[in-house]
Structure 1
């Protein structure tokens, strides 16, 4: 049985190498420490959200399912002394466009379908940082042999 799940490090490495305006790209562990003490924005974090598999499509002893994997890219941009976040909003828009241009339609490897954008939302606005989460998905077939 060969089952392959999405390696989020592939996405972290890809964004880190391509998104020049970001100071760093990290995973969920980095987000945990940065949320309380972010040092140098703008930064991004790739965080797994969930997997959702369809029912078995074969009805035989072989199992074949479509698995959709969702992940988030959480971006933090600097927001200094701007209660409305106007400057941070402009910086965020540019970063989000860059990240979407890189991820939308990209395939992490040949087993996965092209990545799709699923939506986004503001997480938090403080006197220092604007946090935003964009969600993406990709799918692939998992099967028993």
Structure 2
């Protein structure tokens, strides 16, 4: 069985980026948006898993592409248009990329790769940006 990497990513961000006031795991985007957000908060969840077909006979071994979302939430009420919050978020985005890009969470996964970012609709005055990272793991049975 593949290792759950989400707690390892959470711990990495917590130790590498002290600017975050809160770093937490979540089940999905809906749960993050419905919960209490911190200024500057970081929330990590599994985004997607895709598997390749198995080439083995009498057993199954598949390579998984495992995608994680890292949500960055910042708030700056002094700027009504959100420019200051966007700038603060940009700095945190760079810190997250620096902490995770090429980092190998454990022996069961490949180093993390960046797969993109996107603005998430504002909630309660928070500027929310989602960064996505991907890694690969193997699962097997019958071996």
- Using the size of structure 1 for normalisation, the TM-score is 0.87
Match of 1:84 among 81, 84, 91: 81
Structure 1 residue 118 displacement after superposition: 0.7
Rounded to whole Å, the distance in 2 between the matches of 1:139 and 1:37 is: 31
Secondary structure, aligned partner of 1:87: helix
Q: Secondary structure at the match of 1:9?
A: helix
Scaled by the length of structure 2, the TM-score of the pair is 0.89
1:41 aligns with 2:32: no
Alpha-carbon separation, structure 2, partners of 1:36 and 1:6:
23
Q: Is the 8 A contact 2:28 2:46 kept in 1?
A: no
In structure 2, stretches of 5+ residues that fail to align are: none
1:61 CA displacement: 0.5
Q: Which residue of 2 aligns with 1:110?
A: 107
Deviation of residue 4 (structure 1)? 1.7
What count of residue pairs does the alignment treat as equivalent? Answer: 141
Q: 1:37 to 1:141 in 2, by over 3 A?
A: closer
Partner of 2:96: 99
- Following superposition, the deviation at residue 34 of structure 1 comes to 6.1
The CA RMSD measured in Å over matched residues stands at 2.0
For 1:1-145, list aligned pairs within 5 A: 3-28=1-26, 32=31, 35=34, 37-38=36-37, 40-58=38-56, 60-125=57-122, 128-144=125-141, 145=143
